[in-house]
Amino acid sequence: MTDIGKKTAVITGAAGGIGQAISRQFVANGYRVVAGDADQAGLDRIEAELNRTGQIVWSRAGDLSNKAYCEELIDYSIRATGRLDVLVNNAGIITRGNILETTDEHWERTFDINLTAIFYTCRKAIGHMKNHGGGAIVNVSSCWGLYPGPGHAAYCSSKAAVAAFSKCLGRDHAPDGIRVNAVCPNEVNTPMIRTGFERRGFIPDTAIAELNKTVPLGRIAEPEDIADVVFFLCSDAARYIAGTAVEVNGAKPVY
Ligand SMILES: NC(=O)c1ccc[n+]([C@@H]2O[C@H](COP(=O)([O-])OP(=O)(O)OC[C@H]3O[C@@H](n4cnc5c(N)ncnc54)[C@H](O)[C@@H]3O)[C@@H](O)[C@H]2O)c1
């Protein structure tokens, strides 16, 4: 355990597009980061990159559909760094299909990773934060959770639940000094959206150039656009914001 004065942020999905940007943002602002993801090689890469900045980053690979991993990630942060100030539940999967195309397994896996994992990490984190001066939690939902788009029944439902869950926790634990909020991006230029295009036979760069034309601000989001909002919500500048779901959408509606 080193440098007890520094704040610690646990970030899930840290090897993914938005998760890497969030991790860089917290490290750049002097936080110690505990990074979680199922992708061990991706975690190793972001850990090595961030450690080159002189900060220490801890990582723990595992599957968030496993309750023991969710709880261990929080325990590990407290063991390794001595504290837990911020939790960013960013990991998620996108499951495509209407209800007739959604198997039991798709449905259960979507909810296990997108919602139930957050229940486990938040319960563990809030138990600790409540007794140690509070903290901040951001859960990454989606505009598609607030205004469901077509053909993604499981994904949209799970993200709607993440937004509602975050508002519930925000209300319940504001008196404990714990601010809980959700962030709801629309389309973001990450592997999640690019692999979706590839699977459907499109060239990702071309498809994104087309998508950019549909956004009033002129382009879909880059991961840093989301990371900045996540960091803001966890910072003291957002000290009066709790129990909200913040849309980060370039003014683009869901249709
Ligand atoms: N990209 C978008 O357009 C978009 C839009 C709205 C919301 N979001 C949300 O933003 C978050 C981050 O998405 P992204 O675009 O960076 O996607 P991404 O696919 O680049 O990253 C997601 C990360 O989560 C990890 N992950 C997935 N399942 C896991 C599991 N079972 N255990 C541990 N880790 C697991 C993956 O390994 C990956 O590194 C997600 O919750 C996603 O739903 C993304």
Whose alpha carbon is nearest atom 38 of ligand 1?
A: 16
Tokens 């704040």 identify what position? 7
Specify the ligand 1 atom closest to the Cα of 185.
6
62 inside domain: yes
Single pTM value for the model: 0.97
129 inside domain: yes
Q: Residue 198: CB partners within 8 Å, gap ≥ 6?
A: 204
Specify the ligand 1 atom closest to the Cα of 195.
19
Tokens 């140690």 identify what position? 132
Q: How far is the CA of 237 from the centre of ligand 1 (A)?
A: 26
Q: How far is the CA of 2 from the centre of ligand 1 (A)?
A: 30
198 inside domain: no
204 inside domain: no
Specify the ligand 1 atom closest to the Cα of 187.
3
Summary count for the chain: helices (H), strands (E): 10, 7
Q: How many domains does the chain have?
A: 1
Q: Which of 63, 175, 80, 84 is nearest to 137 (CA)?
A: 84
Q: What is the pLDDT of residues 79-98, one digit of tens each?
A: 999 999 999 999 999 999 99
Query: Distance between CA 3 and CA 57 in Å, rounded?
Result: 13
Q: How far is the CA of 49 from the centre of ligand 1 (A)?
A: 20
Whose alpha carbon is nearest atom 1 of ligand 1?
A: 188
Specify the ligand 1 atom closest to the Cα of 20.
16
Query: Distance between CA 224 and CA 220 in Å, rounded?
Result: 12
| pLDDT in the model for residue 213 | 97
191 inside domain: no
Residues in contact with ligand 1 by the CB-under-6-Å rule are 13, 15-19, 37-39, 42, 63-65, 90-94, 113, 140, 142, 185, 187-188, 190-193
Task: Single out the catalytic residue among 76, 155, 240, 255.
Answer: 155
255 is a catalytic site residue: no
Amino acid (one-letter) located at 236: D
197 inside domain: no
Instruction: Give the residue numbers spanning the domain of 244.
Output: 8-186+221-248
209 inside domain: no
* Count of residues making up the chain: 255
Q: How far is the CA of 192 from the centre of ligand 1 (A)?
A: 6
Report the CATH number at residue 237.
3.40.50.720
Q: How far is the CA of 90 from the centre of ligand 1 (A)?
A: 6
Per-residue pLDDT of the chain (255 residues; tens, 9 = 90+): 445 579 999 999 999 999 999 999 999 999 999 999 999 999 999 999 999 987 778 999 999 999 999 999 999 999 999 999 999 999 999 999 999 999 999 999 999 999 999 999 999 999 999 999 999 999 999 999 999 999 999 999 999 999 999 999 999 999 999 999 999 999 999 999 999 999 999 999 999 999 999 999 999 999 999 999 999 999 999 999 999 999 999 999 998
157 inside domain: yes
Q: Residue 105: CB partners within 8 Å, gap ≥ 6?
A: none
Whose alpha carbon is nearest atom 22 of ligand 1?
A: 16
Q: What is the pLDDT of residues 196-218, one digit of tens each?
A: 999 999 999 999 999 999 999 99
